[in-house]
Amino acid sequence: MLRASCFDIKMIIRFLLAALLAVAIMPTANNVARDPISAGDVEMPAHLAADVKAHIAHVAAFYGIKTPDLHFVDSNAAGVTIKEAKNSLVEIRLGRPVQTAFYQEHSELLKATAAHEVGHAVMMARNQEFALLPIIGMYAIGFFPFLVVFPTRRGITVAAVAIGSGLAALGSLPKFALPNDAYLFLLGLLAGSAVLLMVVRWDALLQTKAGEIIAPHLPSRQAFAGAGVIAVAAFFTAYWLVGGMNVERELRADVIGACANDPATMKAALLHLSNAPTSSLKEAFDTFHPSMEERQAMLTAMENKPLRNQACAAVQAGTTSLSINGRVIQ
């Protein structure tokens, strides 16, 4: 009984350590690289910035929330809405994809993008925005199998430090500046290494003096490979489940953007976010956002005036059930 309790405690400690690493992903990325939350401001034409700010204020007033602050930032993300923990201020940050000459010439598309972000601010004000805890749990699930297989405290500690250092190193590279990108690459690297060690003989290395010191702290090749397979399977299962919880919020923000402008403008704003069309493979891996096809289909359906009126009334109330094309929006 005592032995079982000790085993449970060790498992709990390992999972808490995995959770701690998961919690550290965002601040680590913020401190070593630019991302949508920490990116610096960018100058935009004063009249355009004023026009977008006025539109944000108008939409916010319509939904009865405090007007979010607007910042144009040096970021690859088109738009991010955040809530400062210290003062509860909500900020809308619009990145480089909507700062192009095209968006400046077609300010209605820029305002539609901003209105979509106001939709997230509305959900924050109503305590309907996506919770951080499921995301932390999702990331922790991916780390946990690797920490479980290390047999000693020193081994676990070194593994945790290595994972944390890997996240920091990847986050310092522009390609992996977004925390999720750094995490996915590191998880793939760990899983790939685990499988590779099954075919690479490293016994000779462990027979050296240094190898004899570290060998007791390392998992077996089979255990490490198993951890890699389980980690990938567990993470992507959680990624799919947690991401699906966010899809309806993104669609709801699209509805709010369409109501603040019109469905056709919201459709055009989404379509012009990238010069290159999004691949179906990339969309499949992005479980946190609906596909462009689904978003376009929903907005096309909203061009029907009675449906649009119903949808706009529902999102304004915030408590009325709403489904479009069979997808629950609210």
Q: Are 66 and 90 in contact (CB under 8 A)?
A: yes
- Domain region containing 10: 2-33+133-240
SS3 call for 34? coil
Q: What is the CATH classification number for the domain harbouring 51?
A: 3.30.2010
- Residue 212 in 3-state DSSP? helix
Residues 93 and 149 in one domain: no
Residues 6+ apart with CB under 8 A from 187: 142, 231, 232, 235
Residue 80 domain flag = yes
- Residue 323 inside a domain? The answer is no
Which of 92, 107, 129 is a domain's end point?
129
Closest CA to 265 of 110, 97, 118, 121: 110
Lowest mean pLDDT among 11-20, 23-32, 162-171, 196-205: 23-32
117 and 64, same domain (yes or no) = yes
**What's the CA gap between 182 and 164, in Å, rounded?**
11
154 with 232, same domain: the answer is yes
Considering the domain architecture, whether residues 142 and 160 belong to the same structural domain is answered as yes
3-state SS assignment for residue 64: coil
Which amino acid makes up residue 302?
M
Strands of the 69-72 sheet, one edge to the other: 69-72, 90-94, 79-83
pLDDT value of position 275 = 55
Evaluate whether residue 7 is within a structural domain.
yes
- Which residue type is seen at 231? A
- Predicted confidence at residue 177, as pLDDT, reads 64
Neighbours of 248 (CB within 10 A): 17
Residues 6 and 105 in one domain: no
How many of the other CB atoms lie within 10 Å of CB of 22? Answer: 21
Paired with 81 in beta bridges are: 92
- Report the C-alpha gap between 200 and 312 in whole angstroms: 60
Does 312 fall in a domain?
A: no
- 98 and 25 in a common domain: no
- 192 with 214, same domain: the answer is yes
Per-residue pLDDT at 32: 47
With left for phi above 0 and alpha for psi between -120 and 50, is residue 72 left, alpha or beta?
beta
In a domain, residue 250? The reply is: no
pLDDT tops 90 at residue 108:
yes
Q: Considering the entire predicted model, what is its pTM?
A: 0.76
Residue 315 counted as domain residue: no
Share of the chain above pLDDT 90, in %: 37
Binned at pLDDT 50, 70 and 90, residue 172 comes out as: confident
Asked if the structure places residue 293 within a domain, the reply is: no
- Judge if 151 and 8 occupy the same domain: yes
- Domain end among 240, 259, 275: 240
For residue 307, being part of any structural domain is answered with no
Q: Could you say which of 99, 129, 159 is where a domain stops?
A: 129
Q: Which residue has the tokens 């990339």?
A: 282
Query: How many domains, the chain?
Result: 2
Which of 34-43, 90-99, 175-184 ranks highest by mean pLDDT? 90-99
Q: Are residues 23 and 72 in the same domain?
A: no
pLDDT at 234: 92
57 neighbors 90 (Cβ within 8 angstroms): no
β-pairing, 323-324 with 79-83?
A: unpaired
Nearest CA to 136 out of 284, 238, 246 is that of 238
Q: DSSP letters along 258-311, please?
A: HHHS-HHHHHHHHHTT-SSPPPHHHHHH-TTS--HHHHHHHHHHTTSHHHHHHH
The per-residue pLDDT for 203 is 61
How far apart are alpha carbons 202 and 99 in whole angstroms?
A: 52
User: Could you tell me if 47 and 111 lie in one domain?
Assistant: yes
Same domain, 20 and 145: yes
| 230 plus 209 within the same structural domain | yes
* In the block, residue with structure tokens 């738009």: 79
**Tokens 């469905």, residue?**
263
Q: Side chain identity at 330, as an amino acid letter?
A: Q
Cα angle at 33 between 27 and 39, to 5 degrees? 90
Q: Output the six-digit token pair for 76.
A: 């690859």
More confident residue, 59 or 128: 59
